[in-house]
Structure 1
Amino acid sequence: MTSEPSAPVWALLDGLSGSNSQTRGVVQALGVPIAENVLTYAREWPWERLTGRVRPTPETRDRLLAAPPPRLIVTTGRRAGAVARWLKRALADRDGTAPRLLHIQDPRFGHDDFDRIIVPAHDRSLARLKARRNVTVVTGSPHPLTPERLATAAEEWRSAVEDLPRPRIAVLVGGDSGRRRLDAAVARRLANQASELARRAGGALMVTTSRRTRADALADLRASLAGPHVLHAWTPEPAGNPYLGFLGLADAVIVTGDSMSMLTEATTPARPVYIFAPAGWARAPHARYHAQLVAAGAARMLDDATAWDAWSGVPINPAAAIATEARALLERS
């Protein structure tokens, strides 16, 4: 995938890494030159959020309007989708033609402005959304990870874990989700369950946190992990984060159930995936997705009594299917 100033496809990105990963997964699978445009927003007042109004900063507006217009715009999330709708109208008024819009997730507003809306099967508004003619339902969240990319990252981190006994179990730690907290108490429970699974397997843990991991959770992880393990705390420097490397090196994966993107990415190596989500902790959409992953044979739930079993996983990534929808829009533009 290349990023070019003038390209037929634009990916509109903002400060949400999970949303950006979904957008990048689709445009990468599309396999055509793309331009990544980073969005910044003016302050959003509560009444604007309720009415779906999103105001890009003047600098963002000027930059988007000054560039050669695209034929297709791909977005994920409410705010990026709102900017895509504004840009479609602005270009139509100026040029008499407008780009096609493909949006991932429920845009909340202006559904008819999008040529295609991709909705995950765990969405709380699925029954209402799937009745629309411009909606496609998929399982999971698209992402840009591939086995080849994980293999490359694995070589970069292999020396950091070569002394650990196998099986090596990657532990991917997220953070708070809405009112659900991944705090010190939850982190202790995760550490205990992960350590017990590694003990039963006779192996070790490769633990990495994320940008969303709370300081108190990190502290209790450090104090509570038992048995052979390494723990890498998230750093703003990308090269210091072993997320991809640990996924590539893992014989199995434990992932906290608070991030749709992280849950889906964890299935990429097609190794055993265990979801850590104590009863009542996960939000309803996340719990629905956990059940879908289990039903698909892609994951099992982790608890105090989970036995070690080297079963084969199932990779989940709808990026290629969504890219087919995007390619059809390009052909009609």
Structure 2
Amino acid sequence: MLVAFVVALTSVGFWFAHKPIELRAPVVDFTVQRGLGMRQAANHIAASGVAVQPRLLTWLAQISGRANRIKAGSYEVHTGVTPWQLILKLSDGDVSQGAVLLVEGWNFRQVRQALETTPDLVADTAGLSDADILGRIGASETHPEGLFFPDTYLFDKHSGALAVLKRAYGSMQKRLAAAWAERDPASPLKSPYEALILASIVEKETGRADDRGLVASVFSNRLRIGMPLQTDPSVIYGLGADFDGKLRRKDLDTDHPWNTYTRPGLPPTPIAMPGPDALRAAVRPQQSDYLYFVARGDGSSQFSRSLDDHNRAVDRFIRNGRAN
């Protein structure tokens, strides 16, 4: 009699474990919060639209030895999932993930907008000041620009934007430290932060990887001799929301901290997120005696040693326009 009961119980358990669960939609996602036990998690899963008996799901997890192994995170289940597959997913930590791309050359306003509008990412930065954000991710800097490494970041669905920013900040700190350790001993830069500033300018001045070394050399050469950098992207950055897409003479003549026409040296902060190529170029620029460059119109630049040569290049490539 006992043997028959055990066999019957085992058969029922096997049937339950492998019978597809009804879902309220073809795909249902739910989040298991940190600290929840199996029974609490099972109740939450059922309330989320997965039609499974919480007590039976808990029992299955217990007899399989996996009840104490469930992992917090966001999960996604599809039509046809069985209780046993669900237990495996929970105990293996097979969480569902989203992705957000932070693009080289973006400023912090664009980064915030991307994070706060990404589906499945909690916008826990909304309403916070830039200073509040820096404090919450443990950054020591007072200005957020350029502090985050551009990359594609995977995240558990329903996790927060602050967590992504913290990872991007840590990644930039590591990349910047590695670049600074390999800097040219003759570099005029005095600190890793200055390298970050120059890298951000190089990033905005050209999208062509094979020009970055020479662009960086122009700015390094100017820094050495005390010549103004005269870089349009930093002026544009300083104009902020007032910039209408066209840089005018009055913009170059109006003094502000990021106007590298009216102020010598580097601007006070980065102006964008530099990528790895721009970081390398800033700390180890290509050796040259160039002091000028102008865009050719095809993405590349024409470099010059003298102002006369530069003016001829401007006449050739940007008639009635402007150049660096």
Q: TM-score range by the shorter chain?
A: under 0.3
TM-score after normalising by structure 1? 0.24
Q: Which has the higher helix share?
A: 2
Q: Which protein has greater RCO, CA pairs closer than 8 Å, 6+ apart? A: 1
* Higher-Rg member (1/2): 2
Q: Which has the higher strand share?
A: 1
